[in-house]
Amino acid sequence: MSSVARLTAAAAAAGVVAAAIALPAVGGGGAMFVSASEDLGIKPEQLKEPPLAERTTVLDAKGNEIAYFWEEYRESVPLAQVADIMKTAIISIEDFRFYEHGAIDIEGTVRALAKNATSGGIAQGGSSITQQYVKQVLLNSATSDKERNAALEASYARKLKELRYAMAIEEKYTKNEILEKYLNIAYFGAGANGVEAAARRFFGVSASELTLSQAATLAGAVQDPNSTDPNIGKAQQKRLLSRRNVVLDRMAELKKITPEEAAEAKKKKLGFKNIAIPGGCGASNVPYFCMYVRNEVLSNPIFGKTAKARSQFLNRGGLTIQTTLDPKMQTAADKAIKKHVFASDDPVASEALVEPGTGAIKAMAASRKYGNNKRKKEMSFNVVADAVHGGGTGFQAGSTFKTFTLLTALKEGMKINDGFSVGGGYTSPYYSSFKNCKNENIGDPSHTVTNDEGGGGFKTLQTGTWQSVNTFFVQLEQKVGLCDTIQTAKSLGIKRSDGLPLQEYETFTLGINEMDPVTVANAYASIGARGKYCAPMAITKITDRDGKVKNYKPKCKQAMDAEVADAAASILSGVFTKGTMSSVGGIGRPAGGKTGTTDSQASAWFAGFTPNLAGAVSIGDPRGAQDHKLNGVTIGGRYFGSVFGASIPGPIWKDTMLSALKGVPADEFTPVNTSRFGGCGSGCAPVERTEPDDEGDVTTDGGLDDVDIADFGDQG
């Protein structure tokens, strides 16, 4: 097309647009009227304005910010919180007659049409700030590439559609409201959406604190934020600096600043600080708890019927999520783990703290940093939680599962001194000796369960638990029923970390199932709460962008008779004084617990509880616990021939509890109902009479309650 033809086309196009517009001038003097507007059908069209994607903030129980989630990094602010110089800069370069024209700037549009016609394409926009806002809304609400392309299409048809929307916007809002909306929706580059996010990302200040040079930089960035993105490289930074100076010259030309002010500002360097975008669990000081919260929202239907709805709710909703995390307890767990296990160690220690009676997760900690750097041994999955909450396969829980068999025995009427004689090995008499919950025979007469260090003789519920005798607990499980034991465990929330069905074999009581600390800690918390089971919870309150509050309460049930839990707590408290934790000791307040070590030290655990707080600690090698057992290993700078539950997990738990509960009044366990559980019933120890000694005394053995078993290791 020749130059003359292009100019002719430009004039024609300008005439069409001019003839199409009949808009009152807002804040200006007078109005423009064109008779052809009705003939051309140019009428206001309402624009659907979905809420902007807003950053979600996560708070701990004390109100401290601990994490952010976002789809687009944005923090919307009212116009009053934007520096006046920023408003002046953006209006000067983008739409200097913003307060004087209506939805479209006729002068700017005609000028742009002429430029486009002579260049053979869309070389100059000429769009008003209102039109630009419309374009951004269309882009932000696009759900497909087709819709996004339509919002960016270089055509007069799109311009006219934008105009219809802009006309409606000008009727709906004041100029200041439009400017506020534009500043909050505009993209400035470097992943920053909206002026507040841009001010923080570029310069580390709020939008209210922007200087002349900074404001001009941001105002210059909106025209082509990708080509001037300072985060990409020096070439882009150079272009942005040049663009900033253009803005300063334009402000001086319009007499918004003096030439001297412009010259002084142009002497300044770009000043891009590249402040890291806040958000994601990698940037959180509590990454594993952060992952738990994130996955709880994304997986739980109460936060949205579909996965897409839940994702948008979390990442676009502008929510404030209040959680259960206690900063004091989190610090206690972090310090205790770091004391005993180094981040550079191959084995990984992890710990969860849960409040009895509510299920509130108070802390989640691990020895390794969260991240993807394998050389630094960082972890990118949630080793403290199950797969639903970002975890992996977990570690076999070992003898911590013996507690569920103990509880089942108490539920079924056994007393604390009931027991039977066991040997150093146990073999199922028949295939039918153990039945799973499908009533299938799964006894294994070909397999012999052994104790690591003897442990034969008459064992009661107390001494068998304190010594953690494998043969006693497998035989006890046979007596009370494998399925009954499994049902007890399930009633306390026990499920495999990987989400697969529990393995229902005779060795269930020895902890063959892979678990995570949150699940195990929560099950033990139920004992501390006298049999009251509460589902693990991390979120207590969500406030949406409009200030609407939704509170979330504990989901609890009485999973077992309170007196059964009391009797179990009494027995488990002896683990610290007469059992496998006697070398570690207690915490100076009522507490119960159980060590756990799997076959040949593939993993080790300790789970314990007080009436105020419960916790579980695991340690294992994430490269594969069965292939990398905890034998002949150096952990935390110390060499271990073999790692047991009392070697590392027990001390971590103790150190954590001493610090986490410091200053918290110690609650007592409810005493055992001795009329129901005291002494022995049908399983009393045999009375052994001996010949009188030299002084004529006769010795008898009526039980093993007072046996000193401090030298017994964890047998499970």
* 581 and 90 Cβ atoms separated by less than 8 Å: no
Determine the pLDDT at residue 162: 82
In the prediction, which pLDDT does 405 show?
A: 98
With vertex at residue 670, the alpha carbon angle to CA 667 and CA 673, rounded to the nearest 5 degrees, is 170
- Reported as type and span, the H/E element at residue 68 is strand 65-69
Angle at which helices 175-185 and 129-141 pack, to 10 degrees?
50
With beta carbons less than 8 A apart as the criterion, state whether 517 and 352 touch. Answer: yes
Residue 121 is predicted with a pLDDT of: 41
Q: What is the pLDDT of residues 412-471, one digit of tens each?
A: 999 999 999 999 999 999 999 999 999 999 999 999 999 876 578 999 999 999 999 999
**Would you place residue 108 in the very low, low, confident or very high pLDDT band (cuts 50, 70, 90)?**
low
Q: How many angstroms separate the CA atoms of 519 and 245, rounded?
A: 59
pLDDT in tens, 469-502: 999 999 999 999 999 999 999 999 999 999 999 9
Q: What is the pLDDT of residue 688?
A: 65
Number of H helices, E strands in the chain: 23, 23
Determine the average pLDDT of the residues in 357-363: 98
Average pLDDT over residues 556-566: 98
DSSP class of 341:
S
700: how many CB neighbours lie within 10 A of its CB?
8
631 has which bridge partners?
A: 642
| Side chain identity at residue 134, one-letter code | V
pTM of the model: 0.81
pLDDT-based confidence at residue 50 (cuts at 50, 70, 90): confident
Residue 643 CB partners (closer than 8 Å, separation 6+): 347, 597, 601, 604, 619, 630, 631, 633, 635
pLDDT digits (tens, 9 = 90+) for 256-293: 999 999 999 999 999 999 998 877 898 899 999 999 99
Q: In whole angstroms, what is the distance from residue 99 CA to residue 91 CA?
A: 9
> Which pLDDT does position 197 carry in this prediction?
94
Structure tokens at 342: 């180094």
Strand partners, 352: 364, 616
Q: How many residues appear in the chain?
A: 716
CA angle 559, 604, 465 (to 5 degrees): 55
Is 599 a residue whose pLDDT tops 90? Answer: no
Mean of pLDDT over the chain: 87
Q: Give exposure, 368-388, as e/b (b: 16+ Cβ within 10 Å).
A: bebeeeeeebebeebbbbbbb
Q: What's the confidence (pLDDT) of residue 365?
A: 97
Q: What percent of the chain is predicted at pLDDT more than 70? A: 86
pLDDT at 21 > cutoff 80? no
Whether 38 has a pLDDT exceeding 50, the answer reads no
Cα gap 550→533, rounded to integer Å? 23
pLDDT of 315 > 80? The answer is yes
Per-residue pLDDT, 689: 53
> In the block, which residue shows the tokens 């030290």?
601
Closest by Cα among 520, 571, 566 to 400: 520
pLDDT (0 to 100) of residue 41? 57
Least confident of 369-383, 510-524, 677-691: 677-691
Burial of residue 302 (CB within 10 Å: 0-12, 13-18, 19+) is exposed
Using CB atoms within 10 Å of the CB of residue 121, give its burial: 0 to 12 exposed, 13 to 18 middle, 19+ buried: exposed
Q: How far is residue 645's CA from residue 579's CA, in Å, rounded to a whole number?
A: 12
Indicate the pLDDT class of residue 160, thresholds 50, 70 and 90.
Answer: confident
Specify whether the CB–CB gap between 215 and 86 falls below 8 A.
yes
- What's the average model confidence in pLDDT over 69-80? 91
Q: What domains can be seen in the chain, in order of their start residue? A: 395-674 (3.40.710.10)
Which pLDDT does position 15 carry in this prediction? 44
C-beta atoms surrounding 213 within 10 Å:
24
Task: State residue 694's pLDDT score.
Answer: 43
Q: Tell me which of 117 and 483 has the higher pLDDT.
A: 483
Please indicate whether residue 34 or residue 608 has the higher confidence score (pLDDT): 608
**Predicted pLDDT of residue 698:** 37
Nearest CA to 222 out of 205, 204, 197 is that of 197
Q: Among the listed ranges 314-318, 362-366, 628-632, 671-675, which one has the minimum average pLDDT value?
A: 314-318
pLDDT at 35 over 60: no
Task: Judge whether 643 and 635 are in contact, CB under 8 Å.
Answer: yes
CA distance 84 to 33: 33
Integer Cα distance of 195 and 87 in angstroms: 10
Q: Let me know: does 689 contact 698? Beta carbons within 8 Å.
A: yes
Closest residue by Cα to residue 182 from 135, 126, 250: 135
Cα-Cα-Cα-Cα dihedral sign, residues 567, 420, 493, 586? positive
The crossing angle, in degrees rounded to 10, of helices 106-119 and 3-20 is: 150
Residue 332 has pLDDT above 70, yes or no: yes
Looking at the predicted structure, is the pLDDT value of residue 1 above 80? no
Q: Over 50: is that where the pLDDT of 328 sits?
A: yes
pLDDT at 53 over 80: yes
Contact 76, 195 (CB under 8 A): no
Query: Could you give the 3-state DSSP secondary structure of residue 69?
Result: strand
Whether 151 shows a pLDDT value over 90: the answer reads no
